[in-house]
Structure 1
Amino acid sequence: MILGTDGPDIGRLGLGCMGMSYAYGVADQAEAVATLNRALDLGITFLDTADLYGGGANERLVGKAIAGRRDEVVLASKFGILADPVTHRPAGVNSSPSYVRSAIDASLTRLGVDHLDLYYQHRVDPAVPIEETVGAMAELVEAGTVKHLGLSEASADSIRRAQAVHPIAVVQSEWSLFSRDIENEVLPVCRELGIGIVPYSPLGRGMLTGAGPRTEDLAADDFRRTLPRFDAENLDANLALVEEIRAVANRYEATAGQVALAWLLAQGNDVTPIPGTKRRKYLEENHGALDLVLSPADLESLSKLTPAGTRYPDMNWVAGQSAALG
């Protein structure tokens, strides 16, 4: 399936790799590598990483896992969010043309490959006109080190301006039953311009599976402790909504997570979610969503769910990027 008018040839479901190295507590590297290989075995060939994740550790992990299987992979990475050298948390943005050129070289080295199938600007840099950034990214296409260009969490205006410089194949943004804001402006613009949509966190950082731990049980450094929807005043209300999703799932002999993914897949053939996981068990569960077709009535009722709390504590997307994960 071609994603967008000028996008990569991928399936309906990809794999977000961030949690294998970063943000969600301690990861098992051997299980992560096994999960990546199992994904390829299942035909989930679209792998998503970024130079931010673990300060480059995630790219090295993905590179190790796909060594010998590069031809099976549609490989995507991102640049533009600077990582704190100690915590690896976001510490600013840089999308200057010179940084674009250095970032791609570093990513290719860590991944052990000679090109990326898709390269995203991770967040728009308010200090650099997007035309300059995309112009530098276009040079990478001309050089053969990148095949397609993407944007992550860009506004409708930024998308239009970027598209005027070079075709944008894909826009990545958070989109799920609990995160619907791209539907107002970003989604219509992408569809007008023939740009594919890659929803990250389609399972609401694990909340929509109904199987995740409560906030107090998360590791001390787990990123979800910073998210308003996991706050004590919001969590119970949101978990009550998850029970409504589970009730739908029971009628299909499915899981809540599979219903959440099936709802997103039903939004259009230009949509390829990238649920993240670091375990084969949950990868296989997510894969099962491809066979689940929800009724129009269930799609409508699910669309009415309204969670408590915003998706990030800071929705301003300014330098500092306290919310820039995904």
Structure 2
Amino acid sequence: MGGRVERIKLGSQGLEVSAQGLGCMGMSAFYGPPKPDEDMISLIHHAIHTGVTLLDTSDIYGPFTNEILLGKALKGGVREKVELATKFGNSFADGKREIRGDPGYVRAACEASLKRLNIDCIDLYYQHRVDTRVPIEVTIGELKKLVEEGKVKYIGLSEASASTIRRAHAIHPITAVQLEWSLWSRDVEEEIIPTCRELGIGIVAYSPLGRGFFSSGSKVLENLTDDDFRKLRYVFYGDEGIELIGDESPGPRLRSSKGLKLPSMGSTIMGCPSRIGIACRFCWFLFSDGCFVMVVASGRLILGWGLRWWQFLPRFQPENLEHNKTIFERVNEMAARKGCTPSQLALAWVHHQGKDVCPIPGTTKIENFNQNIGALSVKLTPEEMVELESFVAEDVVKGDRYTKDVATWKDSETPPLSSWKAT
């Protein structure tokens, strides 16, 4: 079964990868509780044997545990068979989440990822989100040094605007840009995709199946656990990262916390016992929506961002899914005519965007992986491409892909290099 997947050139610097990659995030984070290491390692090895060799992870997945998982999977001579991509840029130091691209952080993040992955060099190292306080030239300048030192082979950006990509590429060649690109997420086509092609930059499409929507439509929420971020509405920011709480409102369980005062922001500090996080540890914490507070966790004081309402993915709100189910129904009908599944049809659409595009669908099951590989055999005519795209016109899809407080390429402009004062 090995070697079934075509190879493509990603970017213009010599990187060659499988035409389809494997997104590993859901194995350890965000899509419910972490899956057993042995099962995920078997899946990764199966993917490699099939010919899928581009493996995508990040230090934020877990955080950190997904990289450790990949490190285990790549032992015993497996490392030489893959192209390994990871990312940096999300810091949880001192009890708060920050997007960071300053040189010291870039270097420290790289060293930490190398250690967790148990490797000497990262094949493709992305800035996961752009730090809008640091000129992109400064961040890329440090990445360039890491390339020169042999710790990184190729540099990538994720969720970066066309102008940011252009500025970065002028400092050191950018090999790949990772973006959400699927049938129902096409806003990157106006400026970013043309810019990448002008500069010879490869395109890596994440969430090419709409985070599972094109597999099961409006039923996608039915079998999700409460801590799956497609479903949850409450999160807690602590010193160890984002703790996923679920959909149930904590309101009925609140009690006033006396003796504590909050800066005048129209909120009241409350205390609430709760079972939180993927680790489900029991603790007391204090919170006010979005305000910086002291948190008591595991018997010690830490700083955290408290509890806040946050629907990460507006398209997955029940009312929006109900509206968008017509899209899935139309894709499903066309897939039946083509003799494939709706997910294969949606993934085939991404593949047909060009040989410079590598989608990285994620999964935690071998049977779903095999189905995704089947998309490589689905052929679409120009007329069928037009028909598919007509199902998901901009005015048809209801709900943004992220909430406004999530950093995306639309918020990735950085200050001019002349403004930078090294510390």
TM-score, normalised on structure 1? Answer: 0.93
Bigger mean CA deviation after superposition, 305-314 or 164-173: 305-314
In 1: Cα distance, 2:35 partner to 2:323 partner: 32
Letter in 2 for 1:128: V
Structure 2 counterparts to residues 141-180 of structure 1, below 5 A: 141-180=147-186
Partner SS, residue 63 of structure 2? helix
Structure 2 counterparts to residues 91-240 of structure 1, below 5 A: 91-210=97-216, 213-215=219-221, 217-225=223-231, 226=311, 227-240=313-326
Tell me the residue number matched to 2:364. Answer: 278
Partner SS, residue 78 of structure 1? strand
Partner SS, residue 124 of structure 2? strand
Conserved? CA contact 2:33–2:227, under 8 Å: no
The CA deviation string for residues 131-160 of structure 1, in whole angstroms up to 9 with x for no partner, is 000000000110011100000000001000
Is 1:308 the counterpart of 2:394 in the alignment?
no
Deviation at 1:13, TM superposition (A): 0.1
Is 1:3 the counterpart of 2:10 in the alignment?
yes
Bigger mean CA deviation after superposition, 210-219 or 46-55: 210-219
Conserved? CA contact 1:55–1:85, under 8 Å: no
Of 58, 66, 79, the residue aligned with 1:58 is 66
Conserved? CA contact 1:202–1:274, under 8 Å: yes
Of 27, 37, 45, the residue aligned with 1:37 is 45
Is 1:17 the counterpart of 2:24 in the alignment?
yes
Conserved? CA contact 1:25–1:222, under 8 Å: yes
Conserved? CA contact 1:10–1:45, under 8 Å: yes
CA RMSD, aligned part only? 1.8
In 2: Cα distance, 1:6 partner to 1:246 partner: 39
**Structure of greater Rg:** 2
Tell me the residue number matched to 1:81. Answer: 90
Partner SS, residue 77 of structure 1? strand
In 1: Cα distance, 2:359 partner to 2:14 partner: 15
User: Higher relative CO (CA 8 A, sep ≥ 6), structure 1 or 2?
Assistant: 1
Of 14, 29, 34, the residue aligned with 1:27 is 34
Conserved? CA contact 1:55–1:83, under 8 Å: no
Deviation at 1:218, TM superposition (A): 2.5
Letter in 2 for 1:291: S
In 2: Cα distance, 1:190 partner to 1:256 partner: 28
In 1: Cα distance, 2:228 partner to 2:33 partner: 9
In 2: Cα distance, 1:58 partner to 1:295 partner: 38
In 1: Cα distance, 2:163 partner to 2:362 partner: 28
The CA deviation string for residues 161-184 of structure 1, in whole angstroms up to 9 with x for no partner, is 000000000000000001001101
In 2: Cα distance, 1:18 partner to 1:7 partner: 26
In 2: Cα distance, 1:8 partner to 1:129 partner: 26
Structure with the higher fraction of residues in helix conformation = 1
Tell me the residue number matched to 1:324. Answer: none
Structure with the higher fraction of residues in strand conformation = 2
- What residue ranges of structure 1 are gaps of 5+ in the alignment? 322-326
Bigger mean CA deviation after superposition, 282-291 or 309-318: 309-318
Conserved? CA contact 1:31–1:280, under 8 Å: no
Partner SS, residue 169 of structure 1? strand
The CA deviation string for residues 6-62 of structure 1, in whole angstroms up to 9 with x for no partner, is 252102100000000000002322221111111101000000000000010000001
In 1: Cα distance, 2:315 partner to 2:136 partner: 31
Letter in 1 for 2:199: L
TM-score, normalised on structure 2? Answer: 0.72
- What residue ranges of structure 2 are gaps of 5+ in the alignment? 1-7, 232-310, 412-423
Deviation at 1:275, TM superposition (A): 0.3
Partner SS, residue 199 of structure 1? strand
In 1: Cα distance, 2:12 partner to 2:111 partner: 27
Conserved? CA contact 1:40–1:73, under 8 Å: yes
Structure 2 counterparts to residues 234-313 of structure 1, below 5 A: 234-304=320-390, 305-306=392-393, 307-313=397-403
Partner SS, residue 63 of structure 1? helix
Deviation at 1:296, TM superposition (A): 1.8
Partner SS, residue 9 of structure 1? strand
In 2: Cα distance, 1:236 partner to 1:6 partner: 45
Q: CA separation of 1:234/1:222 partners in 2, compared to 1, >3 Å: closer, same or farther?
A: same
In 2: Cα distance, 1:41 partner to 1:300 partner: 35
Deviation at 1:317, TM superposition (A): 2.1
Letter in 2 for 1:136: E
Partner SS, residue 156 of structure 2? strand
Deviation at 1:84, TM superposition (A): 7.4
Letter in 1 for 2:82: V
Q: CA separation of 1:144/1:284 partners in 2, compared to 1, >3 Å: closer, same or farther?
A: same
In the alignment of these two chains, the number of paired residues is 316
Aligned-residue sequence identity (percent) comes to 48
In 1: Cα distance, 2:371 partner to 2:138 partner: 42
Bigger mean CA deviation after superposition, 27-36 or 143-152: 27-36
Conserved? CA contact 1:176–1:204, under 8 Å: yes
